[in-house]
Amino acid sequence: MIDKIISVAFSLERNGEKNISINEYTNLMAASKTYKIGNGKNACSFNLVHTTAGYMDIETKKNGAVAVWVADSFQVKGVFTDEKNNHYAEIEIKNKTFRIQFESLLPQKIDIALFNKGIAVSTENNANKVLSMHLQWLLEQFEEQNTRQILGWKLKDNRLIWSGINTQPPLLQYKLTENSEKIYIEKLNDFIKNIPELQFVICTATVSTLLAYLNITEKIPVSSFGVSLIGKSSTGKSTALVLAASLYSSPDDEAVFSGFYGTSNALMYMLGRHNGVPLCYDESTINNGINKGNFVYTFVEGKDKLRLNQDSTLKKRNSWLCTALFSAETPFVDIAENDNLGLGVRMLNLENYVYTKSSTHSDEIKTFSRLNYGIVGNLVSDYLLKSDSMEIKKDMRK
């Protein structure tokens, strides 16, 4: 562990100090790092050490050895960069994780930036400057990681976790205006009752979470697949997609619901964030100059095509595992025209089905979806995390 925290048997109040024994002083001094602030008569030294009681300065005074509080305890977990080469420190406090730009850790900003995250920092005797110097040194010890955020399943320290509404900041959105999740599920069931076409759309969306889960836990070689809702307007296609997207996040969240637009690279980058979270493309036959047959093959393969960096080294490939739902008045890919049956097993076309009972039913579903979202994805992932993956695998094969 790079950011090592020394265990101590005492507590330390904010802006306070505490006398410590000779043994404690010796042990803490051995683990401390010395920093000097100022010049000449105004110069002072800090022996900074990170402990379970917080960051502290180890000093000797007339009344003996003392530990002086500098900041609350938090742990630096890693260093991340984004596509614009902005650098972030990943910080954990009380089992919550957040990312903060390097710039916010400069001496003139660090106390306010960290206090906004619930971490108090002393400004007495330039202690905030010392903490800034220490973090700048500490961050240099970490290897940079790409900040691309995965929606859905991922392994962290060999432990399966779900990246969604519970991450900091949240990667998926959650809103519940019903009195409880149970009542929400009851109303959801009422909306899809006796409409097998709409039920199929909902199942297609949620199976995304199950497939990615089994791929990780049981190494089942499953693939992404797409379902295209084809038909005239006013048949409820877009409404079905709005409801499907709302199972995981707000229908206004482009991470789960968007038009089929943008460059091929942009679409691949967006797909590369998905590992168990479905993606809904409305009006997918919009002409954006992309070869849709190639897109389907790449989507099902689950990996972006090989690319080179400017130095001729291979770029890291985007990868994903999820389901995708498309809606359009004409087929996303015309299998007969392309004379390619391979596309037929990768993209299921549902032609001329109706997904809502009436315009009123459609409006009610859209209103419901925009007032309640993120619930099903959270419930399904939580259920799977608490389950035995072998038993889930057996149930799926029954």
- The answer as to whether 192 is a domain residue is yes
Residues present in the chain in total? 398
Residue 204 token pair: 């297609």
- The answer as to whether 139 is a domain residue is no
- The answer as to whether 85 is a domain residue is no
Beta strand 64-71 pairing with 87-93: unpaired
- The answer as to whether 319 is a domain residue is yes
Which residue in this structure is represented by tokens 């399966």? 160
What is this structure's pTM?
0.65
How far is the CA of 289 from the CAs of 260, 265, 286, in angstroms? 11, 12, 9
Q: Which residues contact 170 (CB under 8 A, 6 or more apart)?
A: 164
The total number of structural domains in the chain stands at 1
- The answer as to whether 57 is a domain residue is no
Give the torsion through C-alpha atoms of 331, 335, 338, 340, to 10 deg.
150
**Residue 389 belongs to a domain with what CATH number?**
3.40.50
Tens digits of pLDDT across the chain (398 residues): 688 999 999 999 999 999 999 999 999 999 999 998 877 777 789 999 999 999 999 999 888 999 999 999 999 988 887 656 678 898 999 888 888 999 999 999 999 999 999 999 999 989 999 999 999 999 988 877 655 678 999 887 788 999 999 887 788 999 999 999 999 999 999 999 999 999 999 999 999 999 999 999 999 988 899 999 999 888 999 999 999 999 999 999 988 998 877 667 778 778 888 999 999 998 765 555 677 878 888 888 888 776 655 555 566 677 899 999 999 888 777 655 555 666 666 788 899 999 999 999 999 999 999 999 999 999 999 999 999 999 998 887 76
Residue 82 token pair: 């984004």
- Cα distance between residue 23 and residue 46, in whole Å: 19
Percent of the chain that is helix, strand, coil (3-state, to 5) = 35, 25, 40
- The answer as to whether 247 is a domain residue is yes
- The answer as to whether 41 is a domain residue is no
- The answer as to whether 91 is a domain residue is no
Range of the domain at 304: 162-397
